[in-house]
Structure 1
Amino acid sequence: MKSRSVDEIIAIVLVFLFVISMLVIPLISVLGNGFSKGFAFFIDSISNDYVMSAIKLTFLTMIITVLVTGIFGLVAAYCIGKFEFPGKSILTTVIDIPFSVSPVIAGLAFIMTFGRMGWLHSYIESINAYFNLDIRVVFAIPGVILATIFVTFPFIYREIIPVLFSQGKEEEEAAALMGASGWTIFWRITFPAIKWPFIYGVILCSARAIGEFGAVAALSKARGETFTLPLEIDALYMSGSENGIVAAFAASSILVCISLIMLCIRSVVEKKGHS
């Protein structure tokens, strides 16, 4: 076995110390504080109506977000990776906007679009009046979902597009010459090559959707109705009471456990993708 130099040992030790101090210890602290008042208090904290409502909305938002961004990511990546058309470079740039725009700004943008001062508000009110509906976007569940979709939709696309570029078009063109339909070409040739990157992107998108705070906070104001789990944790912590703070850590433990589960799934998917 090759002996390591002093510089290599120091570098490895520093990396481990950094990871332990910045990642491991804080997460253990969250779990420890969540159980600091006992298991019964922990169960009560995560099973009250507000937290349960936040958990349900968080998973509802995640499911809808993954469905929308999954379809969009596949279609967008396939079009950009396989076709040539005017505005292709512009479309590629626009898709990456959520990576450079603050989530809070994204939330405010939806308020200025669908809120009382927004240019679409009058149209929504007209539809409500005509069909006797009560459609609301801002400070309602649709706004929470739209904001989450905005900040997550590049994730699946970004995992797929490099594989499509490296795959080339030769196999698809050969299949087309042999008379295969576009649908058959996609499912028999294209999708098998991007299956694992797609699943990897879904995991990343799910993790971001569950943990999103900034954009959702701008479009949510009703605790127990439009609060996702990160917002409920913030509300508990900002209550300032000892029980509220411990309850915030208890609720945070749920996110920590979900993150660890997703990390394990991601590792398996990443291994499958490289095998």
Structure 2
Amino acid sequence: MAKTYAFRAIVIVYLGLLVAWPVSLVAKATFANGFDALATALSDPSVVFALKLTVIVAVQAVILNTIFGVGISLLLVRYEFRGKRLLSSLLDLPLSVSPIVVGLALVLVYGGRGDWFGPGLEANGIQIIFATPGIVLATAFVALPLVIREVVPVLTELGTDEEQAAMSLGASPVQTFRRITLPAIKWAVVYGVVLTLARSLGEFGAVKIVSGNFEGKTQTATLLVEQKYQDFQQPTAYATAFLLALVSVACIVVVSFLRPDHSSSKAQSKGLS
């Protein structure tokens, strides 16, 4: 028992020093003069634009990664094919590669001076790099595995018995997915979406490379925080950082409270049986 309390204390202290304390200092600096910093930040057109662009990019990245993540999860769990392990390993690449490298790779592929798609796209009036599409691609890439790694374990535990029973009764694949599979993985998808949203709101390195960081055009909130801090406008930088952290933390807290307790549900089902 004593060892358990000691381990708990170590974990709490570690998380406090690593997460809670720095975030609390940002909040403290934001409200050092009341709500003046927030009011100043929200009245700044560059801040408002950066926040709007960040939300737009994050929502698009979440949509892309949710659709792709659920599809890839079904492919990895429900089908056997050559290269399956390799594909699963590649999906973790965004977690191991520096976002700076990701941004540079996207510039080489989609940039106007690259050797791949960039020149052809720009010749047809489609600009990826130094525009919103490039920011969305970079953000989606760095958050790619989050939905997949939430959904795959649930699909594995779920098995295929209920799906096969539904199809044997005449349900189409779409009906089986909508009525059997999707309800079973609902909370895994929701939690993956929240993690993706939080990761997308805070992306910096890859976005800085592909966006060009043009104020009022391609500058996201994280890039604006850096610029305001370097321009000695610390209150605005703190306020913007606080807003980003607040949204991410709020999403995770809400989902944590709404997510059902699987251990308690299992205990209840055993008691009923």
Q: Same fold (TM over 0.5)?
A: yes
**Highest RCO, 1 vs 2 (Cα 8 Å, sep ≥ 6):** 1
1:149: which partner in 2? 140
Distance in 1, matches of 2:21 and 2:40, equals 25
Q: Percent identity over the alignment?
A: 35
Contact 2:197 2:248 in 1 (8 A): no
Aligned equivalent of 1:193, options 184, 201, 208: 184
SS in 2 for 1:89: helix
Over residues 74-110 of structure 1, what are the superposed CA-to-partner deviations in whole Å (9 max), with x where a residue is unaligned?
1111122112233323322222221221111110000
| Secondary structure, aligned partner of 2:180 | helix
1:126 is matched with 123
Deviations 1:106-127 (A, max 9, x none): 1000000111331212211332
After TM superposition, give the deviation of residue 223 of structure 1 in Å.
1.4
| SS across alignment from 2:112 | coil
Q: 2:234 matched to 1:235?
A: no
Residue 55 (structure 2) pairs with residue 59 (structure 1): yes
Report the counterpart of residue 132 of structure 1 in structure 2.
Answer: none
Please state if 1:105 is matched with 2:101: yes
User: 1:163 is matched with which residue?
Assistant: 154
Which residues of structure 1 form unaligned runs of 5+?
129-134
Q: 2:27 matched to which residue of 1? A: 31
User: For each residue in 1:217-252, what CA deviation from the matched residue of structure 2 results, as whole angstroms up to 9, or x when unmatched?
Assistant: 11122012111111110111111x2xx012111111
Structure-2 separation of matches of 1:106 and 1:71 = 21
Residue 258 of structure 1 is matched in structure 2 by 247
Find the aligned partners of 1:269 and 1:77 in 2 and give their Cα distance. 23
C-alpha separation in 2, matches of 1:227 and 1:29: 25
Assess, with a 3 A threshold, how the Cα gap between structure 1 residues 271 and 171 changes in structure 2: closer, same or farther.
Answer: closer
Offset at 1:44? 1.1
Alpha-carbon RMSD across the aligned residues, in angstroms, is 1.8
Q: List 4+ stretches of structure 1 deviating above 6 A.
A: none
Question: Quick check: 1:78–1:164 contact (8 Å CA) kept in 2?
Answer: yes
Moved more, 177-186 or 141-150: 177-186
Corresponding residue SS for 1:219:
helix
Q: 206, 210, 219: which is aligned to 2:210?
A: 219
Q: Which amino acid aligns with 1:223?
A: E
Q: Distance in 2 between matches of 1:209 and 1:273?
A: 28
**Alignment pair present for 1:115 and 2:106:** no
Q: Distance in 2 between matches of 1:40 and 1:237?
A: 17
Partner of 1:207: 198
Distance apart, 1:164 and its partner CA: 1.0
Distance (Å, rounded) in 2 between the aligned partners of 1:195 and 1:238: 43
1:187, distance to aligned residue in structure 2 (A) = 1.2
Q: Which runs of 5+ in 2 are unaligned?
A: 266-273
Seen in structure 2, the aligned counterparts of structure 1 residues 157 and 13 have a Cα distance that, compared at 3 Å, is closer
Equivalent residues, number: 262
| Distance change (3 Å), C-alpha of 1:8 and 1:180 | closer
Change (3 A) 1:126 1:255: closer
Equivalent residue number for residue 270 of structure 2: none
TM-score, length of structure 1 as denominator length: 0.88
| Counterpart AA for 1:248 | A
Aligned mates of 1:272, 1:9 — CA distance in 2:
24
Distance 1:182 1:237, change over 3 A: same
TM-score by length of 2: 0.89
Are the structure 2 counterparts of residues 175 and 41 from structure 1 closer, same or farther at C-alpha, using a change threshold of 3 Å?
closer
Check whether the contact 1:74–1:160 (CA below 8 A) recurs between aligned residues: yes
Shift of 1:166: 1.6
Counterparts of 2:227 and 2:240, CA distance in 1: 11
Identify the residue that residue 234 of structure 2 maps to in structure 1: 245
